[in-house]
A and B are shown apart, each in its own frame.
Chain A
Amino acid sequence: MSDSEHEKAHVDPDHLPVWDDPKEAIYHRVTVDLDKCDGCKLCVVVCPANVLELFGPKDNLKARVKIDFSGCMSCNNCYAVCAGQGISASEPYDFAGFYEQKRIGKFEFPRKF
C-alpha cells in the first residue's frame, strides 16, 4: 500500500493489535468522488460506523470521511445508497498480528460465472 496511513506494522503473528494504532488497527476509509457527490447526506445517515460527515458551503455540500474514521468496516452501505455512485470502499479492514486478514483477494462486484 503506497498510502502511509494504511501501512501495516510488522509484528509477531500472535501479537494483539493496539486498537488506536493506525498501523495495527487499519480501518479503511472510503473514497468520495466530489464531482459525483450532490451532498444528499444519505451516506452520512446510513453509515454504521458513523465516520462520514458533510462539509462545505450550504449550497454546495459534499460528503467526506471524518478525521477519526476508526470503525469503518468497508461495508459499502454508503455506496449502496448513493444514487450517483460517488462514494465507495475498495479495501477490507485489517489488523497487524493475531487478527490479520488471511486468504482474501481484491474487492469485486458480483461476478457472473
Chain B
Amino acid sequence: MSDVLTERELEDLECELEKADTKSGRIARRRTAIHDVEEGADWNEVEHTILTRRSIRKFKGRQVPAHMIRRILEMARFAPSQGNCQPWSFVVVRDKEMIAEMEQYCVAVCKNMTATIDYTNYPPGSEKRAAIQANTEKLNRASPNAFHPVPMTAIKSIANGRFAVFHRAPTVILILVDKRGVGVPEVDIGVAGTNIVLGAQSLGLGTCWVGFSRLLSSNAALMERLAVAPPFEISEAICVGYPIGNPTQQAVSRQTHQIVWWEGGEKRILF
C-alpha cells in the first residue's frame, strides 16, 4: 500500500477528526478557530498586532518585569526552524552599566569606520574624498548589504551621537546563532525574533531590531562576559521597553510590492 494518501483518504481523515472534536475539547477549540473569513472582514487580534507594530527607538526609563521578558522568549522557543534545528541562544542584558558599555564600544567602532569610509566629510573634487570613496566602493562591491547607503547614514549618526545603537532601552536581548544550523540559520533567527517582537507587541511592549549589535563581536573581553563563544555568534539584538508616545494607535501606510499571481494558466501582476 502506498503511504501517500489519496484525496478520498484525506477527506476520510478529516471526517475522523470531526468525530474526535466531540471527544476532545482541545481539538474542538483548534478546529473552531479554522474557518474562512468573509471578504473584507475586520482584522483579528493577531493581524491587528502585526499591523500596529512599530520599531520603537525611544523608551521610557521603567524596566520591564523579568517575567514578561521570559514570556516573550518563550514565544521564540516555539518558532519554526529548518530541520527543527532551533539554532538560537539568548543573552538578556538588563543592567544599565553593561548596556552603556556595549553602546560605548559600538560608538567607538562606528567612529573608526566613518574615518575610513565616509567620503562625505570632504568636499567633492578633493583628493582625500576621492581616496576614501575608492575604498568605500571596493567594500561596497564586496559586501553590498553591510555597506548599503542606509546603514552608512546610521553609522554616521551613531558616530556623531545623534543615534543610540541600543536606543537606551532597559532590556537588550542578544540573539546568538549556532553557525552549524541546518540550511540558512540566519533565517531561523529572523523567524524566532519575529515571534519575540510580535509577542512583545501583544503585551504592550515596544521593540527594535539592532543589527549593529554584531559590532560587539570584535570585543573579546565583552564577548567573554556575555558568554558568546563558538559555535555561537551574535546575529541580531532586540531592544525591549515601554514606548514613548502611543505609536500603536494607528497603522501606517507603506509601499506595496509586486506579486506575480499564476492561476488558471495565466500570469497576472498585482500590487
Contacts and interface: CB of A to CB of B under 8 A. Distances in A.
Interface string B138-151: 00110010001110
A109 B251 contact: yes
Contact of A48 (B41, B42, B55, B254): B55
A113 B41 CA distance: 8
A35 B97 CA distance: 44
Contacts, number: 110
A98 B57 contact: no
B126 interface: no
Given A50-B162, A77-B55, A106-B255, A19 B250 contact: no
Interface stretch (B64-72, B85-93, B213-221, B241-249): B241-249
Interface string A71-92: 1011111011101010010101
Interface string B38-60: 01111100000001001111100
A104 B162 contact: no
B4 interface: no
A80 B252 contact: yes
A93 B148 CA distance: 13
Interface string B7-39: 000000000000000000000000000000001
Given A19-B149, A81-B246, A109 B163 contact: no
Chain A interface residue bracket vs B: 35 or more
Nearest to B52: A80
B258 interface: yes
Contact of B254 (A18, A49, A76, A85): A76
A34 interface: no
Contacts of A103: 257-258
A19 B252 contact: no
B74 interface: no
Prevailing SS type, chain A contact patch: loop
Contacts of B148: 99
B137 interface: yes
B63 interface: no
B248 A75 contact: no
Interface in A48-64: 48-50
B149 A104 contact: no
B191 interface: no
Residue from the set B118, B133, B252 with the largest chain A CB neighbour count within 10 Å: B252
A13 interface: no
A77 B254 contact: no
Interface of B: 39-43, 51, 54-58, 118-120, 133, 137, 140-141, 144, 148-150, 152-154, 157, 162-163, 244-258, 271
> Shortest 6 CB-CB distances between A and B: which pairs?
A105-B271, A76-B252, A105-B256, A103-B258, A81-B245, A20-B120
21 contacts: A16-B137, A18-B133, A19-B153, A42-B245, A45-B244, A46-B56, A48-B163, A71-B150, A71-B157, A79-B252, A80-B247, A80-B252, A83-B246, A83-B249, A92-B255, A99-B148, A103-B258, A104-B257, A109-B252, A109-B253, A112-B42
